[in-house]
């Protein structure tokens, strides 16, 4: 096991990431938590040699609801922690204390950073943090992470941190059950009382932890105890436990807050804007503005200007000719040099694509997304779109991966982890793969449709949206499980912090280079091999009857579809070449674009689906998508012919 | 889909009095935007919802302010705003301050 760590734990959006940056050096390592796809950031503590700081995903409470929250629970249960540092929002003391109680019960050394002190003060709140510290038995340090205020005192207290002195009693039936539980629970890194409480409230992580360590007899005894207790209580056990904690938190808040808000916080501009952004009417123009801004920054600037500069000028005219020349001079016209710089060359196709085309697009996208994330706009977007997503059996939270999908479907597939149920994650993964074009593809598709007519663009958008809704509607009814309801916190709108956005963007880019670029290279290598052993030409030929007979496209389009698998936009680019050669009619363009949009996600996203949802699911999705795309394309061809298109 | 917003519904509450007085709201969904009420109980809600509400510090006895009902219900507790669907608001019983 690595060095001891200090875990930052807290509600979503309380400033953990900013505080993390203050506590660690420059270099942070973002990686997936073992066995999950949830990102965890680790960095060396700048104030304590040999100690790591872990930034965990925000939790609203334990028991953990989403995959993200479960990772936090696992860090608490499994990691060799030196200390827990709870980061709390000073202006929401009640809610913060609810978690403090839970963490303090675990018995590990801990401290509480009361962050966002500036916002609390602006609302007229005065908190007696010494009294609070005495009552909770943990050091309490007021901080303003964004300004670096209170950090010195915080690090000092973290160096000397000791286990908390905290004890609160629950209603008698729970105390009794706890006593019995504690005598049979396997010993754990957290106090058995805390583990018992987690078990009683049916926390999935604690449940698994116990299952792995207790024998069957103990397990059934534990379970029996819990059922007996549930029977004796009127309400769910978890609710009774939380109510007891809330009562304690309420008392505490009343005794430590010395002055209450007089000014109504709603008068602030941020609050007003926040209200408008989630307004059923005003929210829409704001949304349109946000989308337009993103389109301009990612679509026009990123996918247009930057890609042009990098792909055509830098790679096309300088780097690639140089690399090709170098390879040919050193290796001659061999198979290896073809593997490197040939038609399906790992460098000329794979690497160039990943670095010159996708990288600038995802970079601009990650910046835009980071700004939205940091500003607190995203939960409002979820509120605004909730109704729409209800139609396809999802809730507004699904808007985040879907919007992210317009940037990079691979990345978006990974982000489905923020969704609460397995069912939701599967549904969104399917829809992303089927009907959400990524920015690279979108660019080419829009360009080609625009060359036909605005009506053509409408047909394309209409058909793709219709398929998205129809498939979503159907899948939501066929998949087992219920739709999960939307429950979001709407944080105040804030001016995004440049450093926070930069750090998040850099971490995501690092992820992209480490995780996605290799997938492109592997994909290219596979394509190269298929081409060499003759499968590729064979596939193109086999596809021709479908392409020309059913879809009504010229036979050459078959190759474009195949290429679309490696690079979503390549498929579209392939068709673009045909159009330029005057081989495509307007109708064929619309049919081709619809089919290629629905057809396949790129190879990287298929691999990501396999990693996230399993190989079987990935294959299942492909088997569903291929025929569906062709079916829709053919049907559209016939419909448009009937309507007199040619 | 639910159509009734702000207490425009006929008074179903037995405590509601006739005359000029507005009927006492019964569920959170019937509370007009801008009003402040006290939570009475939500024990008929599914356990998962109850826990979500409690995790956000919403419990019987606590005072919340309704901010809006469209497109979802948004309430303010302390200095946090929390949004949820009408189905949740419908099972939260409230009483006037
Ligand atoms: N006014 C104020 N804003 C802060 C403070 N600390 C952080 N913020 C802002 O609060 C927002 C959320 O901060 P993050 O550090 O991303 O929060 P987090 O807890 O890591 O959020 P998740 O990763 O989503 O759980 C950002 O816009 C920060 O700039 C503070 O002390 N005062």
Give domain status of residue B13, yes or no.
Answer: no
| Residues 6+ away with beta carbon under 8 Å from A7 | A53, A54, A56, A75, A76, A79, A81, A83, A84, A85
Ligand 1 atom having least distance to the Cα of A19: 15
Q: Dihedral sign for Cα A56, A58, A59, A65, please.
A: negative
Q: What are phi and psi of A182, to 5 degrees?
A: -60, -30
> pLDDT higher for A27 or A586?
A586
User: Which atom in ligand 1 lies closest to the alpha carbon of residue A10?
Assistant: 19
Distances (CA, A) of B55 to A59, A120, A280, A511: 10, 21, 27, 32
Interface test mutation site (partner A, options B40, B69, B71, B76, max chain A beta carbons within 10 A) = B71
The string of pLDDT tens digits covering residues A368-426 is 988 988 888 988 999 999 999 999 989 998 988 888 888 778 878 888 877 878 889 99
Would you place residue A108 in the very low, low, confident or very high pLDDT band (cuts 50, 70, 90)?
A: very high
Residue A594 three-state SS = helix
DSSP assignment of B46-80, as one string?
A: -HHHHHHHHHTT--TT-EEEEEE-SSSEEEEETTE
Q: Please, what is the average pLDDT of chain B?
A: 77
Q: What is the mean pLDDT of chain A?
A: 86
For A145-159, what is each residue's pLDDT tens digit?
Answer: 988 899 999 999 999
pLDDT at A445 exceeding the cut of 50:
yes
Classified as helix, coil or strand, A42 is strand
By Cβ distance, the residue of B51, B72, B82 closest to A239 is: B51
> Chain A partners of B54 at a C-beta cutoff of 8 Å?
61, 238-239, 242-243, 246
| Residues paired with A555 in a beta bridge | none
The answer to whether residue B4 sits within a structural domain is no
Pocket test for ligand 1, best of A7, A9, A15 (most atoms within 8 A of CB): A15
Mean pLDDT of A235-259: 88
B55 close contact with A: CB closer than 8 A = yes
pLDDT value, residue A517: 83
Quote the ligand 1 centre to A143 CA distance (angstroms). Answer: 12
Taking CB atoms and a 6 Å cutoff, what residues make up the pocket around ligand 1?
A 10, 12-18, 58, 115-116, 118-119, 144-146, 374, 494, 497, 500
Contact A391, A472 (CB under 8 A): yes
A500 pLDDT above the threshold of 50: yes
Q: Each residue of A6-17: pLDDT tens digit?
A: 999 999 888 888
Q: Looking at the 3D structure of chain B, how many domains does it have?
A: 1
* b/e burial code for range A13-33 (CB count within 10 A of at least 16 → b): bbbbbbbbbbbbeeebebebb
Residue B62 lies in a domain: yes
Identify the structural domains of chain A with CATH numbers, from first to last: 5-159 (3.40.50.300), 172-260 (1.10.287.1770)
What ipTM was predicted for this assembly? 0.75
CB contacts, 8 Å: A66 with chain B: none
CATH code where residue B30 lies: 2.30.30.90
The torsion region of residue A332 among left (phi > 0), alpha (psi -120 to 50) and beta comes to left
Confidence bin at A491 (pLDDT 50/70/90)? confident
Nearest by CB to A487, from B52, B59, B77: name it. B52
Q: What distances in angstroms separate CA A529 from CA A186, A200, A524, A571, A602, one per listed residue?
A: 53, 55, 9, 19, 18
Q: Ligand 1 pocket: which of A17, A149, A496 to mutate (most atoms <8 Å of CB)? A: A17
The per-residue pLDDT for range B36-52, each reduced to its tens digit, is 999 988 888 888 888 88
Dump pLDDT digits (tens) for A315-354: 888 898 899 888 888 888 888 888 888 877 888 888 887 8
Q: Is B7 a member of any domain? A: no
Note the pTM of the prediction, 2 decimals.
0.78
DSSP secondary structure letters along A53-74: EEEPPP-SSSSP-SHHHHHHHH
Residue B2 lies inside a defined structural domain of this protein:
no
Q: Rounded to an integer, what distance in angstroms lies between the CA atom of residue A597 and that of residue A445?
A: 8
Pairing of strands A24-32, A39-45: antiparallel
Is B82 at the interface with chain A, CB within 8 A? yes
Contact A235/B71, CB-based, under 8 Å? no
SS3 (DSSP) at A593: helix
In a domain, B29, yes or no: yes
User: In sequence order, what are the beta bridge partners of A149?
Assistant: A144
Band (pLDDT 50/70/90 cuts) for residue A124 is: confident
Q: Looking at the domain assignment, is residue B41 inside a domain?
A: yes
Does a structural domain hold residue B16?
no
Range of the domain at B71: 24-96
Interatomic CA distance for residues A237 and A636, integer angstroms = 55
CA A106 – CA A302 distance, rounded (Å): 48
User: Tens digit of pLDDT for each residue in A449-467?
Assistant: 888 888 899 999 999 999 9
Reply yes or no on whether the pLDDT at B10 is more than 80. no
Does the pLDDT at position A221 exceed 80?
yes
């Amino acid at each position: 096991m690595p060095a001891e760590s200090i875990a930052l734990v807290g509600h979503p959006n309380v400033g953990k990431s900013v505080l993390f940056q203050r506590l660690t050096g420059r270099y942070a390592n973002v990686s997936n938590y073992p066995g999950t796809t949830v990102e965890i950031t680790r960095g060396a503590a700048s104030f304590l040699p040999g100690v790591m700081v872990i930034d965990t995903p925000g939790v609203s409470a334990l028991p953990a609801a989403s995959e993200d929250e479960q990772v936090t629970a696992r860090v608490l249960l499994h990691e060799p922690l030196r200390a827990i540092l709870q980061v709390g929002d000073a202006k929401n003391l009640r809610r913060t204390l609810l978690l403090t109680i839970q963490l303090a019960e675990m018995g590990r050394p801990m401290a509480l950073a009361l962050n966002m002190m500036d916002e609390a003060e602006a609302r007229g709140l005065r908190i007696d943090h010494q009294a609070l510290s005495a009552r909770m038995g943990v050091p309490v340090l007021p901080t303003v992470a964004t300004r670096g205020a209170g950090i010195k005192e915080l690090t000092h207290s973290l160096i000397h941190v000791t286990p908390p002195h905290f004890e609160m009693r629950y209603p008698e039936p729970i105390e009794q059950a706890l006593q019995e539980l504690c005598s049979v629970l396997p010993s754990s890194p957290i106090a058995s009382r805390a583990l018992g409480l987690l078990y009683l409230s049916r926390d999935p992580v604690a449940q698994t932890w116990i299952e792995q360590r207790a024998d069957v007899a103990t397990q059934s005894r534990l379970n029996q105890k819990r059922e007996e207790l549930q029977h004796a209580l009127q309400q769910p056990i978890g609710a009774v436990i939380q109510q007891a904690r809330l009562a304690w938190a309420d008392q505490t808040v009343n005794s430590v807050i010395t002055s209450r808000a007089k000014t109504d916080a709603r008068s602030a501009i941020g609050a007003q804007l926040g209200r408008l952004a989630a307004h059923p009417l005003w929210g829409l123009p704001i949304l349109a503005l946000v989308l337009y801004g993103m389109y301009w920054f990612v679509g026009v600037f990123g996918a247009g200007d930057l890609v042009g500069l990098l792909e055509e000028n830098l790679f096309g005219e300088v780097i690639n000719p140089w690399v090709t020349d170098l390879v040919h001079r050193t290796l001659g016209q061999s198979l290896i040099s073809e593997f490197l710089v040939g038609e399906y060359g790992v460098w000329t196709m794979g690497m160039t694509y990943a670095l010159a085309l996708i990288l600038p697009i995802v970079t601009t996208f990650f910046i835009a997304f980071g700004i939205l994330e940091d500003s607190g706009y995203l939960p409002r977007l979820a509120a605004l779109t909730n109704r729409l997503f209800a139609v396809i059996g999802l809730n507004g939270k699904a808007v985040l991966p879907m919007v992210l999908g317009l940037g990079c479907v691979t990345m978006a597939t990974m982000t489905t982890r923020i969704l609460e149920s397995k069912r939701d994650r599967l549904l969104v993964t399917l829809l992303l793969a089927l009907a959400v074009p990524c920015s690279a593809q979108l660019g080419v598709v829009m360009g080609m449709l625009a060359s036909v007519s605005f009506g053509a663009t409408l047909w394309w958008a209409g058909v793709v949206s219709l398929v998205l809704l129809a498939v979503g509607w159907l899948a939501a009814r066929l998949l087992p499980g219920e739709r999960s309801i939307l429950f979001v916190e709407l944080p105040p709108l804030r001016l995004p912090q440049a450093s926070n956005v930069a750090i998040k963007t850099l971490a995501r880019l690092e992820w992209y280079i480490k995780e996605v670029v290799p997938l492109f290279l592997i994909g290219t290598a596979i394509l190269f091999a298929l081409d060499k052993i003759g499968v590729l030409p064979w596939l193109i030929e086999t596809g021709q009857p479908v392409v020309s007979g059913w879809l009504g496209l010229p036979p050459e389009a078959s190759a474009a579809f195949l290429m679309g698998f490696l690079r979503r936009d390549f498929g579209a680019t392939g068709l673009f070449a045909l159009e330029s050669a005057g081989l495509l009619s307007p109708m064929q363009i619309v049919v081709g674009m619809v089919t290629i949009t629905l057809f396949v996600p790129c190879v990287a996203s298929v691999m990501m689906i396999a990693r996230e949802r399993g190989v079987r699911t990935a294959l299942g999705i492909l088997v569903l998508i291929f025929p569906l795309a062709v079916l829709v394309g053919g049907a559209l061809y016939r419909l448009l012919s009937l309507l007199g298109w040619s | 889909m639910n159509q009734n917003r702000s207490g425009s519904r006929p008074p179903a509450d037995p405590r509601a009095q006739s005359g000029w007085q507005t009927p006492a709201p019964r569920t959170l969904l019937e509370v007009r935007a801008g009003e402040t009420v006290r939570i009475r109980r939500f024990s008929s809600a599914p356990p998962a919802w109850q826990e979500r509400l409690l995790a956000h510090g919403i419990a019987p006895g606590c005072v919340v302010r309704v901010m809006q009902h469209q497109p979802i219900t948004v309430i303010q507790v302390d200095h946090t705003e929390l949004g949820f669907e009408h189905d949740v608001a419908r099972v939260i019983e409230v009483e006037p301050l």
